[in-house]
Amino acid sequence: MTGESEFLDAYDASDFPRPSVAVDVALVTVAEEKLAVLLVRRKEHPHRGAWQLPGGFVGIDESLDDAAKRVLLDKTGISGVFTEQLYTFGDVDRDPRTRVISVAYYSLVGAGRLGNLHDDGALVPILVPWSGETGGAVDLRGPDGLIDVAFDHRLIVGTVVKRLRGKLGYAPIGYELLPGEFTLHQLQAIHETISGARLNKDSFRRRMLASGELVSTGRRQQNVGHRPATLYRYEPA
């Protein structure tokens, strides 16, 4: 048996069949107290009529990050938002046509920035059938019950939710889903939506303010029918 390095060096690009490499991008936002993801409808077999994450094959002269940005821009016109590699899905049978390895990415964007989607795209609420950071596939709710999702994309979205819950405690995830100025109540709602749990208001407020990364703008809410809350801005330390 030869070692890996021999194998690696003896390898000729044309010698062996090789997998295709795609990126799939989960654009996530929070709308009406629910996590939602952008899906597009499939027009061809397999899974014709089902929904999937926007995706595309990786160009031979294109980095993975660039491919993800391109897919996002092509499908939504959005760029410049928080985007991060999630996980690479490589089971042999995940695509029935041919061997496709998918490097999954996720993006976060405030609900306000999602204006005009393409015709075949839809923001779909995510139903998480597990608690905490258990992980696993999620369900996606359409107008008439759960919708049909192609490939392993329910698992990909579930992995996004797991990642978000994990990062919520130590990374500035919530701010990516809010406008530039926001109230502490809005921030808490985002955290509760992501974590799937209610949070203690007093403690949340103290913890956020103690971080030193929230700056009061001096401005306040307008026309809210009750005492208006102070608007804050996020400023990394």
Partner DNA sequence: AAAATAGTGTCTGTAAGACAATATAAC
Partner DNA sequence: GTTATATTGTCTTACAGACACTATTTT
Which residues contact residue 157 at a Cβ distance below 8 angstroms, ignoring those fewer than 6 apart? 26, 37, 53, 126, 137, 138, 140
Residue 94 or 205: the one with the smaller Cβ distance to DNA is 205
What would you measure as the largest C-alpha separation in the chain, in angstroms? 76
Contact 24, 37 (CB under 8 A): no
Residues near its own copies, by CB under 8 A: 1, 3-9, 11, 13, 16-22, 40-45, 52, 54-65, 71, 74-75, 85, 87-88, 90-92, 98-99, 101, 103, 118, 120
Residue 212 beta carbon to DNA: minimum distance, rounded to whole angstroms: 11
CA angle, 186 as apex, 68 and 78 as ends, to 5°? 20
Contact between 65 and 56 (Cβ < 8 Å): no
Alpha-helix residue ranges (DSSP H) falling in the chain: 4-10, 64-76, 153-168, 184-195, 201-210
Question: Nearer to DNA by C-beta: 101 or 199?
Answer: 199
**Residue 216 C-beta: closest distance to DNA, Å:** 8
Q: Give least dist CB 184 to its own copies, A.
A: 26
Shortest Å distance, C-beta 176 to its own copies: 19
Contact 185, 199 (CB under 8 A): no
Burial of 167 (0-12, 13-18, 19+ CB in 10 A): middle
63: number of Cβ within 10 Å:
10
Q: Which among its own copies, DNA, none contacts residue 147 (Cβ within 5 to 8 A by kind)?
A: none
Cβ distance to its own copies smaller for residue 10 or 32: 10
Nearer to its own copies, 57 or 82 (CB): 57
Range 94-113, binding DNA (CB under 7 A): none
* Residue carrying the six token digits 């949340």: 204
The minimum distance between CB 157 and its own copies, in angstroms, equals 16
Choose among DNA, its own copies, none what residue 90 binds, the Cβ cut-off being 5 to 8 Å by kind: its own copies
* Ranges within 198-237 binding DNA (CB under 7 A): 199-207, 210, 220, 222-230
Touching DNA, residues 165-194 (CB under 7 A): 183-185
Cross-strand pairs, 56: 23
Strands 100-108 and 34-41: unpaired
- Min dist CB 197 to its own copies, Å, is 16
- Per partner kind, with CB cut-offs from 5 to 8 A, the member of its own copies, DNA, none near residue 113 is none
Residues making contact with DNA (CB under 7 A)? 183-185, 199-207, 210, 220, 222-230
